[in-house]
Structure formats: C-alpha cells, structure tokens
Structure 1
Amino acid sequence: EDIWRDEGPMRELAARKPGLVLVPNGSPYERSKDDLRLELVGKRAKQIGAPILYTNMFGGQDDLVFDGDSMAVNESGELLARSPQFQSDLMVVDIPVQAKTSSPDLVISEDVMILSDEARAPIAKTLPEAEEIWSALVLGLRDYVEKNGFKSVVLGLSGGIDSAVVATIAVDALGKDRVFGVSLPSKYSSEHSKADAADLAKNLGIGYRSIEIEPVVQGFLKATTLQGIAEENVQARVRGSLLMGLSNQEGHLVLATGNKSELAVGYSTLYGDAVGGYAPIKDVFKVDVWRLAKWRNEKARGEGSAAPIPESSIKKEPSAELRPGQKDSDSLPNYELLDQILELYIDKGGDASAIINAGHERSLVERVILLVDRAEYKRR
C-alpha cells in the first residue's frame, strides 16, 4: 500500500536508485479505480526513475472484491503490459532494466529461470463501466459462496427489478443448478408481479416454487393488534422467516436483494426483506440496478440468447406491494434525484451545505440526510 502515499518508502526508493521496483498490492475494487491505478503507477515510475511491476490481488474476500488489474510500466511511466480485471492471469513481460548503483538488502537467488523464449506483452482492454460493475458483483458473490462452503443459494422473487438482478448475478456466478427462487405472494401481490417472478425463473432455468404467505400472516395478526406500517411489515418478516426456514432445512445461503438506495434511507424491514447471509447489490444505487438490468439483457441478445430479465420488471414503477396501490414514490423522492443526493452525502462525504450548493433543494436534502442518519440501526 506504500505506493499510494507520496512520503515514506517511495521517497527512499528514489534515493536508492533501484533498477526495478516490485509492488505486491491488495487494492480492492472501486468504480473506475483502474484508471487511477494506471495514473499512479506511471507517476511513481517517473518519480523513482525505474520500471514498476505492480501485482494486485484477485478474488472476493468478505465484503471486498479484488479485481486484479496488474501491470508493468517502464521508467517513463509508459504501459508495457496489463492483465485483465476479474480473472487470474500469468503475464511474461520483457522489461528493460538499466544498471544502477543500488543493491538489494537481501539476495534470494541469483539463478535465472527462463519462462519463455519470446515474452508476450498483452495490454488488456478496459471494460465498459456496466460490465466492470457486473463482473465485480459476480466475482464477489461467487467467492463468498465458495469460501463459506455453501452448495447453493435461495432468494425471494417478487417480480421486481432488485430480485431479478440478484437472481441473474447468482446464475452468472454459480450456474443455474445452484440457484433457487421462491415467490412469496400476499393478498396485495399483483398478478403481473407473480407472472414476472415466474418468467424470470423460467428464463434463468433455476429452481422455483411459490408459497402463499397470507395464511401465515393472518395467523400472526390474530395474536396481535398490529396496524398500519407494523401490520405491513409482518408480511416482510413472514417472507424472511420462510426463506430462513428453507435455508435451515435445505442448506442454501439466503441472498438479500436490497439495494444501496433503500438501505441508505431505511426503506426496508429488519428481519424481513433485509434477511440473508449476503446482499450482492447492497452497494449499488437503484438507478444503477436498472442500468445493469438493461445492460445484462442487451448482452444476452448480443450473444444470441433470450434476455433473462422480464422487460416489465424493468419498466414498471417500483412497489413493495405491502398495501393496496403502494408505490415507492409514496415514501421516497424520485430515485434519480435521491441517488444524486445519496452519492454526494455517502460516497463524497458532503454535508448539507455542499449538497445544497450543488443545486439540490434544501428541504429535500435535509429530509434525505435525516432518513439516512435515522436508519443507521438498520445497517448494524
């Protein structure tokens, strides 16, 4: 990690005039970080006056994803070779090394091992943003499932965009035979939502079943006097309990389907739709969920396959369907606007004044910030 800091080892290395610098790194993926890495490695090579071999980790580890993106640059900072993101790779690269006055602190071996008579120097293409994000989500889920010893995953299919995207990511990560979808309709679930859930499962070729939750909900309500939002949330918690029950009995890992926008403002039910051992899109804003769905469908069509995600799931207005005629817009601002404010507040670290100065209405900014701050307990 020393390469990211201007002071310390970088300054010392420049003074020692090395012939070649090796940089093993554990740099987690961030959107467009590959551009930042290339700029940084080139800058350091010019500062030190020596070629740099930058090798980065690959794979998922808990909530982090390491995307590889190793590279070699010469002393002028020019790119000589670069490995692809989100896959392991072995590169053999000829690097011109000038004789310098420095000597290593420790000589491990002076033997020369020839790996190839003719070194290749590939420079991997930069991935389009949507493909880069999708690849990170797939890799993160795959490694989390594999490293934790799960054979399969299960998730609730509502017919909405979030569960559709999560199911498709799961199939890309694990294969269709290891993904199981469950429709959990209530009396408020629309016919088109139930149809969209079934169509998604059919398109993906995953295991699928439907369990009506109304009898369970009514049994719960008979023992309580819950009304309003509390009554609505019983439905979500019944769904969560059923999914966890299936996990317990059949050994699946439950996937939560909440996105970053909803989790940020607390638009979710603790022990309900928030249940799960892993939430693949928890760091993806709602507008990006739609964008990823469209990209994945276009990719399938471009490969001559049927689009996995039903168009109606993409186009219809989002709704939790916990009461008649419910829409997300009843409780939240337009997602385009909401996500702009959330990005400034959460990702950029801006305060209310900075966000207002960026052109957003004061009352809306204050409302969103209040929602985010009050929902902290749901993210613990």
Structure 2
Amino acid sequence: MFGYYRVASAVNKTIVGNPAKNAEEIITLIQDAYAKEVSVVVFPELTLTGYTASDLFLNQTLIASQNEKLAYILQQTSDIHTIAIIGLALLEADRLYNCAAVLQNGKILGIVPKSYLPNKKEFYEKRQFITGRDITRTTTELYGEEIPFGVDLLFSDSKEMTFGVELCEDLWAVTPPSNHMANNGANLLFNLSASNELIGKAEYREELVRTQSGRCMAAYVYASAGVGESTTDTVFGGHAIISEYGSTLAQNERFSLENTLITADVDLERLRWLRLNESSYSDGRRKKTRIIKVDNLPEITTLDRKINPMPFVPSLFEEKKHRCDEIVQIQAHGLIKRMSHAHITKAVIGISGGLDSTLALLSTHRAFEIMGWDHTNIIAVTMPGFGTTSRTKSNAVKLCEALGVTLRTIDITDISHKEFEAIEHNVNEHSVTYENVQARARTSILMNMANKEGGLVIGTGDLSEVALGWSTYNGDHMSMYAINSSIPKTLIQYVIEYFKYDESIADVIDDILDTPISPELLPHKEDEIVQETESIVGPYALHDFFLYHFIKYGAKPAKIRFLATLAFEGKYDQETITKWLKLFLKRFFTQQFKRSCMPDGPKVGTISLSPRADWKMASDADVEIWLEELEK
C-alpha cells in the first residue's frame, strides 16, 4: 500500500489491581485491531495492573497475577499478526521497572523500560520503580525465554516501518528518548501513558504529541489511561492521539466508560523520504541500537485516509485570511527589497485579465501601499493580440482603473505581422511559431518600456507553469522579478478570491476567476476564447497534485496515481489521471532548461523550482525510468 500502515491507540476498561479482568479487555481490543487490519496497537501505561496500584506493585501477589495473565494474553493472541504494545511491571535483578512489552503472534519481541520517572505532586513512581535509561544490550527471562530488554530496542519489518517505544514522562522530558529513536531510523513512535486530567492539560498533551511527531519527522501514537484508573485524588480521561509530522490525524473523546480504539493510516514511506528532502535529519547523532525483526503484519486492503486533492491550498477556511495575508506579504516585501536595492521606483506589468497577471498586480499594489509609493508608478500594460477577447481586456482595464495604476494599451498585431514577414512565416499557419512570436513581442515591449521608464518588469508566470514549462523561452519565461514563481495555479485562484474583501474590485475578480485559463494566442471566434490551456496540458488541479507529491518527498509515479485516484474520485478516472501524469512527467523533464535560467522570485511555500532555492536538476535528465515505473 505504498508505505501506508494502519496504527491504533487503544484505551481499555481498567480495574486497578485486577490483571485477570484487564487481560480480557486487552484481548478484545487486540482482536478488534486485527480485524481492522491494524499493524501496531498501543495501550496505556501499566495496562495489566492499572497505573494507580501504587504500593501494591511491591506485593508479590499482584506481580504474579500480572505475569500469569500476560502469558494468557500471549496464548490467546498466538495467531494474531497485529503487534500489541502493553504496559507491565517487570521484576529484573531484584529491581522493578515500569515497562512496555511488544507482543506479536503469541511471543514477546522485546521489553522497553521507562527512562524518566515522575516524582512530584500526584506522581511518585520512584517509590516503586527505578529508571531503565541506562539499560542496553541486555536480556531478561520470562516464561523460559530470553527476551531483549533495554532502551536501545527498535522494531522493524525491514520494509518501510521501524518503530520505537517510550513511556509517559519520557515524552515530557527535555530530551525525550524518541529523539534518539528517530535519529536511529524510527519513523513510528509509540507512547504508553497515564496522564491525569487537569484543566487545559488535554490541549497541551495533544500539542506535545503533535509537535514531537513534527520534530522527529515521524508518526506518533499515544494512549493514556482511562477513567477506570481514577482513584483517590486523580481522575484519568483516557486520551488517545495519533499524529503524523506535525498534524493530528485522530484523537478520541475522553472520559468514555467503554473500551475505545482509534485508528489512522500513516504514510511511513513519505516520512522516510521527507527526512532526505526537507531537513538536517541526517546530521543527527546515531547510537548503537538493536533492531528486532517483526513477523509479517496485516496488510491494508483499502486506505482509510482522506487525501487532499489540493495540497497547496489550506483546508480550513478560517485560515484563509491569515494564509493569504502571509503570501501577499512575502511577495510584497520581496519586491520592496528588490526595488529599494536597485533604486527603482516604477514597476512594469503585462496585464491580460487572467489569473497570474491579476495576482502579480495586486501584490505589487500591496507593496506600493506598504511603502507609501505612488500607485501611478505601477505601469500596467495591456497588449491585445489575435486571440484577445473583449472580456479579458475589459477585466484588465477595470482592475487597473479601480487600483489607480497607470494603464497603457499597445496592440501587438502589427508588430507580430512584421515579425512573421521578417522570418517568412505564414500568418495563417497557427503553429508554435505563431504563438511564440506574440509572447516574445509582449516581453520585448515590457523590457523596453522598463528601460525607458527606469522600471522593473514584474513576471507573472506561476509555479504550475514553471513545472510544466508552459511558457515561451525568453518570452513570458523571462522578467526582472518573477513574483508568482513559487505559487501554483490552484493557490493563485485561492489568493485572488481573498482580495474580494475590497468591494471596488470584487465583481471584476469574480469574472476573472470565472474566465477559462488561456494564453489567448490563437484567434478568437466571435469574441470567445478558443484556446483553453487545461484542454491542452490538462487540469491544473491534477498537475499541482502531481507536482506536490513528486517534489515534496520524491513519490513514485505509481503512488502519485494511486493517491490522485482517491483524491479525485468521482471527478477523474484512473485512465485520465494516467494520461495527464505521463504528460506532466515528460514536460517536467524536458523543460528543465527553462528553470535553469529562470529569474529571481520570492519563495512563498515549501516548494520552489528555482535552481537557487530548492531544485537542482540536470537539464538533460531522462524521464524513461519514471514512465516505466508508472507502466509497471
């Protein structure tokens, strides 16, 4: 399943001091997890006895009963491939340790002791237990078997998954053991906990789990003791949380009187490759660890996870104003720095009435507002040609007038005819030459006007076009500052819509958003656009999706197709997705030469294709093996 694993956090009904009854609930939850194709399920701390048994841990009867019922659990789960991580008190070398036991197919794979023991306020673990943080390369004997024991244990299926285990307070320490586990390759982390409830603690707890998953570039699964642990002066709520790389995928409703089991499908393949692509992870110090091989795990038959069809666009509407403000601020301040440094006071922008030039103009206008510069020093040039319709030209004019910028109109048809004549091109032959002559004519006009006015040519091309090479080399491919170059088309639409808060331009923005995307280089028919970009290169929603997964963590084409099929279910079938994915791959590879000499532009999101920022690639790299992988 392309590196996806289903993990679970279980909170069992607990009776403190009664391992027999607790064992029955644990077995029920393990069986439930197995039926749901879960690879690994984690339980709360000291699962069999209950965490709040206190000095009863120093009583022989409780420990003996716990060990007896652990053997019973192993017997009852001998044919279950799901790994279960349960808590137990381990007596070893006349010392008592608070531990996590990793079970699979009726066997104990390893036992991990707790490193940090709380000894303050309502928690006094050092009264019964000692720390196991120095225990490495050691075994313990249980049921006549030598079992790996120590904080140096990691568990792996030798494919995509390697996991580590820590216990409760370990996560709250200044340097959690999970940091070291992640440095040694663990991309999945589990925590058995008994965290009591206090006002505001649940929110902090979730934030702690979520941020630790981000710091470790891992998935983090947390299970805390349920309401059955509540006794004396402490109340427990049974908080279960599953997070992945800084985002919480699932958490339960606390204070349930019944067993609870939450699951999530985590993308461990993505996490492994993000570590290569996005961070200084490889500089982390490695320690000696023991890798315990696990048996075959349950395989997911269907993915139970929502795949965002627009990964560049914020999913929460409440974030829209903040996110769009941030994007425009980055664009505006990048431009301010460039113009201030070059002592330039004017900006020259080609305006078509399309999405890209609209955002470039709006962001430039914001820069001038921030600096208190004269808006008339923004020179917007509309350059109608053979395909320009009255709709797009009218929208360009209305927008410029509303913003109070200087508007100039230069018709390029005569210039283009003279160019056709000079190179002996038949004007009726609507080939790439026919289109590129117009694109280069427009760029030439903008460059020359900028020289004349002492201005800076603002590029309008976006990240999606940069990825596909959907530009004319040394035409619209070139500018003096490419303000949109790291913003994909789907995000540009989102940001432009945000500007509708200004009622003076709301109507024209609505019409710009509703206009088909087109370079308007082929002659229109009865004032209607005949050249729609997405019918030629494919839907930008798909291409932005392909781009994100291809660049973000180097996903294989087959996985990209798999995810796209889920994300766009009901909109695009697999055949359509495959068709446009092949085109994306071919264009991405063949058009690298344009990216190798693209102009400066501000990096706005996590992905940029500038050779000076994120992406360095040979201009003549071959695409064959990527296409072959997709076919296989």
Scaled by the length of structure 2, what TM-score is found? 0.39
Return closer, same or farther for 1:44/1:259 CA change in 2, 3 Å cut-off. Answer: farther
Instruction: Name the counterpart of 1:373.
Output: 589
Indicate yes or no: 2:240 matched with 1:46: no
Partner of 1:357: 562
Q: Which residue of 1 aligns with 2:440?
A: 237
SS of the residue aligned with 2:581?
Answer: helix
- Say yes or no: does 1:159 pair with 2:356: no
Match of 2:457 in 1: 254
Size of the aligned set, in residue pairs, is 260
Partners of 2:496 and 2:509 within 8 A in 1: no
Q: Say whether residues 1:193 and 2:321 are aligned partners.
A: no
Greater shift, 331-340 or 209-218, is seen at: 331-340
Confirm or deny that 1:212 pairs with 2:406. Answer: no
SS at match of 1:255: strand
Q: CA deviation at 1:44?
A: 11
Deviation of residue 358 (structure 1)? 1.9
The 1:308–1:155 alpha-carbon spacing in structure 2 relative to 1, beyond 3 Å, is farther
Given residue 548 of structure 2, which amino acid in structure 1 is its aligned partner? Answer: E
Percent identity over paired residues: 26
Q: How far does residue 377 in structure 1 lie from its aligned partner after superposition? A: 0.9
State which drifts further: 307-316 or 148-157. 307-316
**C-alpha distance in 2, partners of 1:363/1:142?**
42
More strand by share: 2
Q: In 1, Cα distance between the equivalents of 2:394 and 2:546?
A: 34
Measured after TM superposition, the shift of residue 348 of structure 1 is 3.2
Give the Å deviation of 1:374: 0.8
Q: State how 1:72-151 maps to structure 2 within 5 Å.
A: 128-151=322-345
Shift of residue 240, structure 1, vs aligned partner: 0.6
Residues of 1 paired with 2:552 and 2:507: CA distance? 31
Deviations 1:147-191 (A, max 9, x none): 222111101011111111100100100242331100111122111
Which runs of structure 2 are paired with 1:185-334 in the superposition (5 Å)? 185-226=384-425, 227=429, 228-298=431-501, 300-301=502-503, 306-307=505-506, 310-324=509-523, 325-334=530-539
- Decide whether the 8 Å contact of 1:270 with 1:378 is kept in 2: yes
- Report the AA paired with residue 379 of structure 2: F
Structure 2 partner of 1:344 = 549
- The equivalent of 1:109 in structure 2 is none
Deviation at 1:203, TM superposition (A): 1.1
| 1:181–1:308 distance in 2 versus 1, CA, 3 Å | farther
The one-letter amino acid paired with 1:237 is: R
Which SS does the other structure have where 1:254 is aligned?
Answer: strand
CA–CA separation in structure 1 for the residues paired with 2:583 and 2:476: 23
- Call closer, same or farther: CA 1:47–1:272 in 2, change over 3 Å: same
Partners in 2 of 1:166 and 1:334 — Cα distance? 22
SS in 2 for 1:269: coil
| 1:136-155 deviation digits (Å, cap 9, x = unpaired) | 22222222221222111101
Q: Is the 8 A contact 1:164 1:309 kept in 2?
A: no
1:363: Cα distance to partner?
Answer: 3.5
**Secondary structure in 2 aligned to 1:194?**
helix
Q: 1:306 to 1:155 in 2, by over 3 A?
A: closer
Q: Distance in 2 between matches of 1:329 and 1:368?
A: 12
Q: Which moved more, 1:347-356 or 1:368-377?
A: 347-356
Which moved further from structure 2: 306-315 or 220-229?
306-315
C-alpha distance in 2 between matches for 1:45 and 1:253: 53
Contact 1:157/1:164, CA 8 A, preserved across alignment: yes
Q: Which amino acid aligns with 2:546?
A: I
Partners of 1:268 and 1:342 in 2: how far apart?
17
Gaps of 5+ in 1: 1-42, 49-76, 79-125
Partners of 2:478 and 2:511 in 1: CA distance = 26
Please give the per-residue CA displacement for 1:315-362, whole angstroms capped at 9, x wherever unaligned: 111110100311112321111122111111123322313312324433
Q: Secondary structure at the match of 2:334?
A: helix
Deviation at 1:287, TM superposition (A): 0.8
| Structure 1 residue 45, shift from structure 2 partner | 9.7
CA-CA distance at 1:200 after TM superposition: 1.1
- What code does the residue aligned with 2:451 have? N
Q: Secondary structure at the match of 2:379?
A: strand
Cα gap change, 1:357 to 1:310, in 2 (>3 Å): closer
Q: Helix, strand or coil for the counterpart of 2:459?
A: coil
- Greater gyration radius: 2
1:50-69 equivalence runs, <5 A? none
For structure 2, list consecutive stretches of 5 or more residues without a partner in the other structure.
1-170, 177-206, 209-318, 370-374, 524-529, 566-576, 597-632
Distance 2:338 2:413 in 1: 33
Deviations 1:55-108 (A, max 9, x none): xxxxxxxxxxxxxxxxxxxxxx99xxxxxxxxxxxxxxxxxxxxxxxxxxxxxx
Runs of 4+ in structure 1 deviating by more than 6 angstroms, as ranges, are none
Partner letter of residue 373 of structure 1?
F
Aligned counterparts of 1:317 and 1:294: Cα–Cα separation in 2: 15
Q: Structure 1 pair 149/356, CA: closer, same or farther in 2 (3 Å)?
A: same
Q: Look up the equivalent residue of 1:345 and give its one-letter code.
A: F
CA distance 1:213–1:254, change in 2 (3 Å): same
CA distance in 1, matches of 2:332, 2:553: 25
Residues 280-315 of structure 1 show CA distances to partners (whole Å, capped at 9, x for unaligned) of 1110010111100001222x24xxx55385321111
Alpha carbons 2:346, 2:453 under 8 Å: kept: no
Q: Are residue 183 (structure 1) and residue 388 (structure 2) matched? A: no
